[in-house]
Amino acid sequence: MSQTGLIFRLTLAVWLWPGALFAADAPDPFRVVVSVKPIHSIVAGLMLGADVPELLIDDNRSPYDFTPSPQQRQGLREADLLFWVGPELEAGLAETVRELAPGVEVIELLSHERVKILPSRHTPGQRDPYFWLDNRNVMIILDDMTRLLQDADPKRAHRYERNRQKVLARLARIDREYEYGYRGMKAGLGVQYHDTLQYFEQAYALKILDRVTGSPRRPVAAASLLKVRERIVSGEAVCLLSEKGLPAEHLSLLTQGSGVNHGILDSLGVGLAPGPDLYFRLMDHNTDEIKRCLNADMQAASAARALAEQDGSPVVDGIGGGRFLLTDHLGRLVSKETMRGKYAMVYFGYTFCPDICPTSMQVLFQAFDLMGDKADSFQPYFITIDPERDTIAVMRDYVQYFDERLIGVTGGREMIDRVARLFKAGFEKVVEAPDDPERYLMDHSAALYLLGPHGRFVSKFAHGISAEDLAQRLTALHRDDDLR
């Protein structure tokens, strides 16, 4: 069955929602059906206090094995709206979806044009279905789902908007926790039984060494099994992650006599009660399992979560506002006013950073190279969070090492702290040797912030974005006259 044939009626117009998706006299209430628990949780949060969306795949069943019953097929035929992930996850649902009448709007989330969808690492031509494990994808879908519900049910548009704000605040908490506490996921190296964490790896700089299999539908290759076993036995991998609800018949071969830590993820929410809280419980569960399995400092992990919960403002509210006065690598003053005129790409890091900062700079300038002349409208700034070591002279050497287009920025400790707060960029000094206070690292968030030519916050790009994706998104933003 071709990929094109499985998209059915889903087109670009579905996701742009020009206002004609439902008739103006659509019945109230209307029936919304969602295939899997993580997506159902977000829709349930949006519809809280209005209607309750129906969950199709319940009873702790795996979507890989799901085939709708006659009663469920009839229910789908009577629905107004169906959200499903796509044939890569719910293959048994594909035929039923294809046969639905035109009156049922079908939203295949893997075909959403603005969501970051990654190709499968194991099956050419297929897509990785676990896009919700990058919570920024959920933020994008949240906005589009809200507009869809408001168009379909305008009498309760205000309720959907209030619910959107509440769900967004909870998603923002995850964003802050993972960026500020990313070091907790880098204590050791791990392997996976099923390849479910590709989005999580890219979004939050998690390194997984290897995987046994890409999908429960595919037989386990002996070579893959033995390779993962060798990584465990040699001590290269301290952690093995499996998935609740997915078959892992060779798990004992990997764990027996190895002493490897075993963490059980629940990326599909199989063991969780459905509802508005499920997605957030799922993300917290997975994060904690990964950190425990990698022998992370769980006290530090708890502190990162507590810090994220203290700041209750949405990610985008007020970022980059306020006044500040800093100095660049040539001794010139840098302020909010001097940064205007071009799109400002702002990154917080430090020159002694061993891995994250160099990687981020490399991706940024690779993206600029891909953009060609369009990159001339963007000015990158590297603002140090370690001004005690990163003097003007040090910043000058750093800029020369990377790219002459970069502006290195430093200043006094108090002003650096102020600017970081204005951008909601977290950092913390981590002393490696108590007897030598000069030996320290800076634990810090790793996002790229984009300000418009007039200084208004435009967007935020997570560490782990590819140069190609960043170039594409910056080019699209550059075309939008509303940002100028």
Determine the average pLDDT of the residues in 315-320: 51
Point out the domain boundary residue: 255, 276, 310: 310
CATH of the domain at 75: 3.40.50.1980
pLDDT confidence tier of residue 321, bands split at 50, 70 and 90: low
Residues 230 and 253 in one domain: yes
Residues 204 and 61 in one domain: no
Q: Is residue 16 part of a domain?
A: yes
Poorest-pLDDT segment among 25-34, 187-196, 397-406: 25-34
Residues 10 and 106 in one domain: yes
Q: What is the DSSP string of 408-473?
A: EEE--HHHHHHHHHHTT--EEEEES-TT-TT-EEEEE---EEEE-TTS-EEEEE-TT--HHHHHHH
Q: Is residue 226 part of a domain?
A: yes
Q: Is residue 124 part of a domain?
A: no
- Kindly state the DSSP code that residue 5 receives in the 8-state scheme: H
Residues 353 and 262 in one domain: no
Q: Is residue 399 part of a domain?
A: yes
Residues 349 and 425 in one domain: yes
Q: At a CB cut-off of 8 Å and minimum separation 6, what does 409 contact?
A: 326, 327, 328, 329, 334, 381, 382, 383, 384, 395
The residue written with tokens 């789902």 in the block is 145
Residues 227 and 105 in one domain: no
pLDDT confidence tier of residue 153, bands split at 50, 70 and 90: confident
Residue 428: per-residue pLDDT: 85
Residues 42 and 112 in one domain: yes
Instruction: Report the candidate in 299, 291, 308 with the shortest Cα–Cα distance to residue 175.
Output: 308
pLDDT confidence tier of residue 55, bands split at 50, 70 and 90: very high
Q: What is the mean pLDDT of the chain?
A: 84
Determine the average pLDDT of the residues in 406-413: 93
Per-residue pLDDT tens digits for 56-101 = 998 778 899 999 999 999 999 999 999 999 999 999 999 999 999 9
Q: Is residue 127 part of a domain?
A: no
Give me the count of residues in the chain: 484
Instruction: Reduce the secondary structure of 267-302 to three states and give it as a string.
Output: CCCCCCCCCCCHHHHHHHHHHHHHHHHCCCCHHHHH
Q: Is residue 206 part of a domain?
A: yes
Residue 135: per-residue pLDDT: 85
Q: At a CB cut-off of 8 Å and minimum separation 6, what does 294 contact?
A: 185, 186, 187, 188, 189, 190, 238, 239, 261
pLDDT confidence tier of residue 394, bands split at 50, 70 and 90: very high
Share of the chain above pLDDT 90, in %: 46
Show the domain range for 386: 325-483
Per-residue pLDDT tens digits for 330-349 = 988 898 889 989 999 999 99
Q: Is 241 helix (H, G, I), strand (E, B) or coil?
A: strand
Residue 50: per-residue pLDDT: 86
Residues 285 and 395 in one domain: no
Q: Is residue 418 part of a domain?
A: yes
Residues 370 and 293 in one domain: no
Determine the average pLDDT of the residues in 156-165: 88
Q: At a CB cut-off of 8 Å and minimum separation 6, what does 423 contact?
A: 319, 320, 346, 348, 449
Residue 301: per-residue pLDDT: 65
Residues 69 and 156 in one domain: yes
Q: How far is CA 17 from CA 30, 53, 150, 189, 199, in A?
A: 17, 20, 11, 44, 27
Residue 307: per-residue pLDDT: 64
Q: Is residue 410 part of a domain?
A: yes
Point out the domain boundary residue: 262, 284, 310: 310
Which segments of 101-221 does DSSP mark as H helices, in order? 135-152, 157-180, 198-204
Residues 336 and 388 in one domain: yes
How many domains does one find in the chain?
A: 3
Residues 293 and 342 in one domain: no
Residue with more model confidence, 132 or 103: 132
CATH of the domain at 440: 3.40.30.10
Please give the Cα distance from 272 to 266 (Å, whole number). 8
Per-residue pLDDT tens digits for 111-134 = 988 788 889 998 889 999 999 998
